[in-house]
Amino acid sequence: MADQLPLPDFLASLGKTELKPGGSYATGAAIRMLDLSSGERVLVLGPNAANTALFVSMTTQTLTEALVKEESEKVTEGDPALKRRSTARIGKIEDLPFEDGQFDAVLVEATLSYQTEDRQLQTLKGIARVLKPGGRIALHELAWRQPPTPEVERRLAEIWQGPVNPGVVRAWWNLLEQNGFGDIRNELAVISYFTPSGMTADEGETAVDIFHKAFASEETLDRFYAAYRELAENRRYYGVILATASKA
């Protein structure tokens, strides 16, 4: 049932492929903020991580690895040339299957904001472990633009229908600092799930098909419109944080 899926999974059921809150714009901005150099090793975590890792490798000349859930998500297995630049490994975000100090940078998208506070700490501890000294992290996550009221928190839970735990900017800074990161920098972006420009940038010509599927039944239309209305009417609360930091 559509009303039992977390919001990103519901959108995926309509054919949406870009499931990160700030869309392709925020991904590009986070990559630029990492200031990657040719030959560096980069770990990518989040939805469609293998595709993102390949994009990072091709645009920055880095060596990338993605964490995926199953074999079907590996996108370079059949191409030896691509696999030399970008690989993927199956594993869990909370228990990264990588050696200590293996990566120069880690890109984390749409991951921490869908975890409990305890799991956020566990995940960031693991990321710090696999980073080299001085290694960098970039976050692309949901955030509160201002502290939410209890009513806004309730409405977010209603439209999301799954784990969701954004924080205000200071909370994200605290979380990074608690796990040994410093030199933190951030900017805020908009949630692009439902904006016309965001939908077009992320999905191209298939954006219209997503709207058609949303109108396919009363159930899907109600779910789609409720999420659209809440994020639009209360956009002063909802946003996306793009943050970078360095391992001490």
How many percent of the chain have pLDDT more than 90? 92
Residue 50 has pLDDT above 70, yes or no: yes
Distance CA 234, CA 173 (A): 24
Question: What residue spans of 87-195 are helical by DSSP H?
Answer: 117-130, 150-160, 169-178
Q: What is the pLDDT of residues 66-121, one digit of tens each?
A: 999 999 999 999 899 999 999 999 999 989 999 999 999 999 999 999 999 999 99
Check residue 195 and give its pLDDT. 83
Query: pTM score, two decimals?
Result: 0.94
Identify whether the C-beta of residue 121 lies closer than 8 Å to the C-beta of residue 175: yes
Task: Report pLDDT digits (tens) over 140-180.
Answer: 999 999 999 999 999 999 999 999 999 999 999 999 999 99
Pairing of strands 41-45, 63-68: parallel
Q: Does domain 20-147+162-200+235-247 have CATH number 2.60.40.10?
A: no
Residue indicated by tokens 């074999």: 71
What confidence score (pLDDT) does residue 3 get?
A: 63
Mean pLDDT of the chain: 95
Burial label, 72 (beta-carbon count in 10 A; 0-12, 13-18, 19+): exposed
- Strand 238-247 relative to strand 181-189: parallel, antiparallel, unpaired? antiparallel
Burial of 94 (0-12, 13-18, 19+ CB in 10 A): middle
Residue 144: CB atoms within 10 Å = 20
Q: Please say if the pLDDT value at position 129 is more than 60.
A: yes
Give how far Cα 48 sits from Cα of 125, 160, 221, Å.
22, 20, 26
Mean pLDDT for the stretch of residues 218-242: 95
Q: What's residue 23's pLDDT?
A: 95
